[in-house]
A = this chain, B = another copy of it.
């Protein structure tokens, strides 16, 4: 057997190249040739590790979702499980905003994929529901804990609050992407609404 190549790593390399192109030139600029060139391989190599473009696109989406999940978790984890549920909620929602370039690319490509999935049956819409659903369940749980701990008012509905905040965060993220407002302005709006839920309890962060 010749020089064994780590298939997983190769596929990851190619997926990264795909995301770089999709993030800079748009998802429509993702072609076998452009991805191969960006990754520094020949077209046939991309074909070798992904038998078709459809498979490549699908893997690219999975790769993106995985990286987004890791990133959010990396920011939430350190906050600690034992920490105040409100801090966790704040960390998650803040991280959901496109504040740096990497996050901006995530948002853009993810949205592009989402739009594509509506009309292209090849890209199952399942990944676009699992992630958000999981996230909403997580936030709902945190808000339940916050309510039980008396951090937020008892009249608040954790489920509806979580769903609303998540949707707001997504909407704000899109507006940042389109240049309607800056990330800081979006953060300000988000913080205002968090403050409305738990007055005086969101002033630890700068």
Contact = CB atoms under 8 A, between A and B. Distances in A.
Nearest to A157: B192
A170 B174 contact: yes
A24 B119 CA distance: 7
Nearest to A127: B178
Contact of A164 (B119, B168, B177): B168
A117 to B, nearest CB: 7
* A26, A128, A177, A193, most chain B CB atoms within 10 A: A193
Nearest to A111: B115
Interface string A93-127: 00000000000000010011011111110000100
B175 A119 contact: no
Contacts of A170: 167, 170-171, 174-175
17 contacts: A28-B116, A29-B119, A108-B119, A125-B179, A132-B175, A132-B180, A163-B181, A164-B168, A164-B190, A167-B168, A167-B169, A167-B174, A167-B175, A170-B171, A171-B171, A171-B172, A171-B174
